[in-house]
Structure 1
Amino acid sequence: MNWQAAVESTVTGLGYELVDCERSPKGLLRVYIDRVANDPAGEYIVVEDCERVTRQLQHVLEVEGIAYERLEVSSPGLDRPLKTAAHYARFAGQEVEVTLVAAFKGRKKYKGLLEALGEGWRLVFNDGKVEQALDFSLGEVKEARLVPVVDFKGKRFQSQPANDAAGAQAEADETDGDRKQ
């Protein structure tokens, strides 16, 4: 079994998606994993997921006699790469950055909303003047990544607008009342 097949069968066997794997000439084996779409265990990869895959990969690689110096298992990150048609389908409707193999209208990089388009894909973007659409196939893409979205909805204290001082004071009074009880 070659190293790529060993990694893929191990990762998928543990119930994760193999996003990408790479091997450097200095013996580094880097593996990117993600949750399978609609996984009830959660939305994001956590440290425990990476530890679980690392332990299993260490055993499999040893048994298969696949040499490596260092093994790194991680999530694909907020700017997750899109490699397969399944990745594009999963993230349709989200903002992505696409780098084309060949320039189109003098540009290779485009950022916009990804849409499925029959056999291909469409990127809807604003060029600063008007909304436009770029239709493309996966063969025309050099690289595609999700545009990171950082959401602080869970943050308890948010800054109040200057003109909403009365609302902030009412909220503070409510909090003080809770402490006195």
Structure 2
Amino acid sequence: MSTQIDRLRELVQPLATEHAMDLEEVKITTAGRRRVLQVVVDTDEGVGLDACAELSRQISEALDADDLMGGDTYVLEVTSPGAERPLTEPRHYRRSVGRLLWLRPHQGADVVARLVAVDEEGVDVEVPGEKGRKATPRRFAFSEIAKARVELEFNRPAGRQPAASGDESLKEA
């Protein structure tokens, strides 16, 4: 027997696909009497407010036609992933090319490095040099990475912008 979350995913997935979005997560949280159904979606270009609103309307209509949430009230939130969300799929890394990452390998010390390329097997990063030294390139296979997330940068270095969709190299200004 499938769980409520599995059934919700089955309901939401085709709607997200119709909007060319990846369904990243479906979860229900409870705070007192209030239930929140959160649907997290993403695309290579990011997800705009209008796209979230349209998908939310369609999900709401589908839920109204179904009894998956039962008779109790709930709040539906359709959102994009947060800036520091964990990177768990190759597409997450692809969407983060040019960004600073925190990586925790299965073996060895944590690494903070700039993501420069992604392929089917893993990622190429540049570890910043200390005190004016040149950055050091490193390669991590996906199987070597225990955890990873994007690090927020408030002052991104000039010329270090995320690459366009499909372009796996850094763009230089």
TM category, shorter: 0.5 to 0.7
1:73 maps to which residue?
78
Unaligned runs of 5+ in 2: 1-5, 157-173
Q: List gaps (5 residues or longer) in structure 1.
A: 38-42, 152-181
Deviations along 1:66-125, one digit per CA (max 9) or x if unpaired, are: 217221112335556533213323443x12313325352xx3242313323562212211
Preserved contact between residue 98 and residue 141 of structure 1 (Cα < 8 Å)? no
Please give the alpha-carbon distance, in whole angstroms, between the structure 2 residues aligned to 1:135 and 1:91: 16
Q: What are the within-5 Å matches in structure 2 for residues 17-56 of structure 1?
A: 17-18=22-23, 20-26=24-30, 27-35=35-43, 37=44, 43-56=45-58
1:2 correspondence with 2:7? yes
- Does structure 2 retain, via aligned residues, the 8 Å contact 1:50–1:74? yes
Instruction: Find the partner of 2:142 among 130, 138, 143.
Output: 138
In the aligned structure 2, how far is the partner of 1:88 from the partner of 1:48? 25
Q: How does 1:151-170 map to 2 (within 5 A)?
A: none
Shift, 1:55, TM fit: 0.7
What is the rounded CA distance, in whole Å, between the counterparts of 2:48 and 2:95 in structure 1? 20
> Using the alignment, how far apart are the partners of 1:14 and 1:44 within structure 2?
12
Distance 2:18 2:94 in 1: 22
Q: Deviations over 1:122-170 (max 9, x none)?
A: 221114144223322334232322645789xxxxxxxxxxxxxxxxxxx
Amino acid across the alignment from 2:101: E
Deviation digits for residues 19-65 of structure 1, max 9, x if unmatched?
Answer: x2241441322222234x4xxxxx55332211101111112233342
Larger Rg: 1
Kindly indicate which of the two structures has a greater share of residues assigned to helix: 1
Q: 1:52 to 1:85 in 2, by over 3 A?
A: same
Identity %: 20
RMSD of aligned alpha carbons:
3.1
State the partner residue of 1:160. none
Paired AA for residue 67 in structure 2? G
State yes or no: 1:85 paired with 2:87. Answer: no
One-letter code aligned to 1:142:
K
Question: Is the alpha carbon distance of 1:22 and 1:131 closer, same or farther for their aligned partners in structure 2, counting shifts above 3 Å?
Answer: same
Q: Which whole-Å CA distance do the structure 2 matches of 1:147 and 1:34 have between them?
A: 18
